[in-house]
A = this chain, B = another copy of it.
């Protein structure tokens, strides 16, 4: 391949690029701030720059169209670029270059010396597409508004033409479609600013709490899929209404939707039967990114708006994981990164330098508080931290009387019980008389038998009801943490890396944010050597969905990333089971 040198003035930066690279690509790839109002289609002609060719000739070119085929100097004007700052556990600065754009045109009227057709008058550029619907309405639209119109552009397609200048109204909405919760973010696509956020329980919950029960429901009757699909679309439409009401916009001002969800959620949202996700070999119908008309999904935004789904990786590593990996910029990592998103399943991604592996472990819902005697979600009233030091301490979300124990509280409790010798290496909760550790002996009276099972009482809840962790809970917990830990180990082995090679561990999701890294390492959920490298990154899936709607480049990064992540099926992996059994105990 032939390379040429591009010199960027006034900063005098030299960049080597392959032949045929556009200046837009050069700017994008090298973080050079420059605005492409029409997204680089060549229709708005507003990205003109002057270049100095190798023979000294000066020329004005469109940065989006000009291809480098010789050494060239680009004289860049000092421009201010709109940047959106995204703080969602991780800070990300992105240039605003939304998935949908508007460009306003004041066109010359037709004359005998300029009798181009209406479409060519509007878009004087080959290769830009449009719909028959736009063409059918075009002649009247142009003449009613004296040839002053705004085009709405998605990718290389003009999806709508509006009378006069409507560029001030261009909103998008990013959705994180969780199995339990749906979160939506209304974004001004001109500035990248978040206007408001809304959330609701996923109404599919009434057909089944987890993905497996919903897949069964969808497969059991012909109307099953319709009902699940209708439920999530209905709630999305409610959230859209709520968001625009709150910000005094109209739903017609929204032209783009992104959504990131797990593979099942995305299938249901797109009304694609998820049937075969629930049985081996757990095959999705599609993992590629899907872009469809909002109208096709009955989503009530502007009728010409588009919906962009995140690509999935496999049946149990979905678009939400891709969005999280995007938010964490793992594609730019040159040192090994580990991302863990713990929910009912634990999705784990390991990699750097363009090589990534992912797996999903059936951790079970212990960390979400399910199947744990006093377990609950990380909401008000949940014990989120416990410390069995010289002083006994615990904290409750919302500082109220405790009503249960959250996942992070469970991890803390087990970790502390191990430290003070109340739980042994095999996970057995010792009887008071068996405790040898001095500090442990202090907590002997908290050990009791409840419903015939030995338990450690953390606190007294409302009406004197004890909040506790029992032997059965600890066994559940061991299975869950063992699955995650084994997943990490198998990925490392497949990757050919050592634990200590990992440079950073990202914990995505609410659980990750609450989790005490020390406890996570004590219980062996995360290898001990990584303790100082753990970083909670919050709702990374939501952050990724927002990044994508603000920036086409981010959406394309997500797509590229999804294709670079190789899925490892643990259920058939030769060493997963033995690794798992090694990981259920404590060291």
Q: Enumerate chain A interface residues (CB-CB to B < 8 A).
A: 2, 110-121, 126, 132, 135-136, 138-140, 143, 270-273, 275-276, 280-288, 290, 292, 296, 312, 314-315, 563, 569, 571-572
Q: Whose C-beta in chain B lies nearest to the C-beta of A280? A: B112
Which among B118, B135, B273, B292 is the interface contact of A290 at CB below 8 angstroms?
A: B135
Q: How far is the CA of A276 from the CA of B140 in the complex (A)?
A: 10
- Of the listed residues A113, A115, A119, A140, the one surrounded by the most CB atoms of chain B closer than 10 A to its CB is A115
Q: How far is the CA of A140 from the CA of B126 in the complex (A)?
A: 40
Contact between B281 and A119 (Cβ–Cβ < 8 Å)?
no
- Of the listed residues A113, A282, A285, A563, the one surrounded by the most CB atoms of chain B closer than 10 A to its CB is A285
Q: How far is the CA of A290 from the CA of B288 in the complex (A)?
A: 27
A331 to chain B, nearest CB (A): 17
Q: Whose C-beta in chain B lies nearest to the C-beta of A314? A: B115
- Of the listed residues A118, A132, A276, the one surrounded by the most CB atoms of chain B closer than 10 A to its CB is A132
Q: Whose C-beta in chain B lies nearest to the C-beta of A127? A: B288
Contact between A112 and B285 (Cβ–Cβ < 8 Å)?
no
Which among B2, B121, B285 is the interface contact of A119 at CB below 8 angstroms?
A: B285
Q: How far is the CA of A115 from the CA of B116 in the complex (A)?
A: 52
Contact between B286 and A117 (Cβ–Cβ < 8 Å)?
yes
20 A-B residue pairs with Cβ-Cβ distance under 8 Å, sorted by A, are A2-B2, A110-B281, A112-B569, A115-B283, A115-B314, A117-B284, A117-B285, A117-B314, A118-B276, A118-B284, A119-B285, A119-B288, A126-B563, A132-B296, A135-B270, A135-B285, A136-B273, A138-B285, A138-B286, A143-B276
Contact between A115 and B569 (Cβ–Cβ < 8 Å)?
yes
Q: Whose C-beta in chain B lies nearest to the C-beta of A109? A: B281
Q: How far is the CA of A340 from the CA of B271 in the complex (A)?
A: 54
Contact between B270 and A110 (Cβ–Cβ < 8 Å)?
no
The answer to whether residues A285 and B139 also contact, given A126-B563, A563-B126 and a CB cut-off of 8 A, is: yes
Q: Whose C-beta in chain B lies nearest to the C-beta of A143? A: B276
Residues in B neighbouring A2, C-beta threshold 8 A: 2
Q: Whose C-beta in chain B lies nearest to the C-beta of A128? A: B288
Contact between A115 and B275 (Cβ–Cβ < 8 Å)?
no
A434 to chain B, nearest CB (A): 44
Q: How far is the CA of A143 from the CA of B139 in the complex (A)?
A: 48
A43 to chain B, nearest CB (A): 14
Residues in B neighbouring A136, C-beta threshold 8 A: 270-273
The answer to whether residues A275 and B139 also contact, given A111-B281, A281-B115, A285-B119 and a CB cut-off of 8 A, is: yes
A358 to chain B, nearest CB (A): 13
Contact between B119 and A287 (Cβ–Cβ < 8 Å)?
yes
The answer to whether residues A283 and B110 also contact, given A135-B270, A136-B273, A139-B276 and a CB cut-off of 8 A, is: yes
The answer to whether residues A571 and B112 also contact, given A119-B288, A273-B140, A285-B117 and a CB cut-off of 8 A, is: yes
The answer to whether residues A112 and B284 also contact, given A270-B136, A272-B136, A273-B140 and a CB cut-off of 8 A, is: no
Residues in B neighbouring A288, C-beta threshold 8 A: 119-120
Contact between B120 and A287 (Cβ–Cβ < 8 Å)?
yes
Residues in B neighbouring A118, C-beta threshold 8 A: 276, 283-286
Contact between A286 and B110 (Cβ–Cβ < 8 Å)?
no
Q: How far is the CA of A140 from the CA of B283 in the complex (A)?
A: 13
Q: How far is the CA of A415 from the CA of B139 in the complex (A)?
A: 45
Q: How far is the CA of A315 from the CA of B118 in the complex (A)?
A: 11
Q: How far is the CA of A285 from the CA of B140 in the complex (A)?
A: 10
The answer to whether residues A572 and B284 also contact, given A139-B276, A272-B135 and a CB cut-off of 8 A, is: no
Q: How far is the CA of A118 from the CA of B563 in the complex (A)?
A: 16
Shortest 8 CB-CB contacts between residues of A and residues of B: A112-B572, A115-B281, A119-B286, A117-B284, A112-B281, A110-B283, A117-B287, A118-B285
Q: Whose C-beta in chain B lies nearest to the C-beta of A293? A: B132
- Of the listed residues A136, A287, A296, the one surrounded by the most CB atoms of chain B closer than 10 A to its CB is A136
Contact between A132 and B270 (Cβ–Cβ < 8 Å)?
yes
The answer to whether residues A286 and B135 also contact, given A112-B281, A280-B112 and a CB cut-off of 8 A, is: yes
Residues in B neighbouring A116, C-beta threshold 8 A: 283
A223 to chain B, nearest CB (A): 15
Q: How far is the CA of A113 from the CA of B296 in the complex (A)?
A: 35
Q: Whose C-beta in chain B lies nearest to the C-beta of A133? A: B296
A271 to chain B, nearest CB (A): 6
Q: How far is the CA of A563 from the CA of B119 in the complex (A)?
A: 14
Contact between B117 and A283 (Cβ–Cβ < 8 Å)?
yes
Residues in B neighbouring A572, C-beta threshold 8 A: 112-113
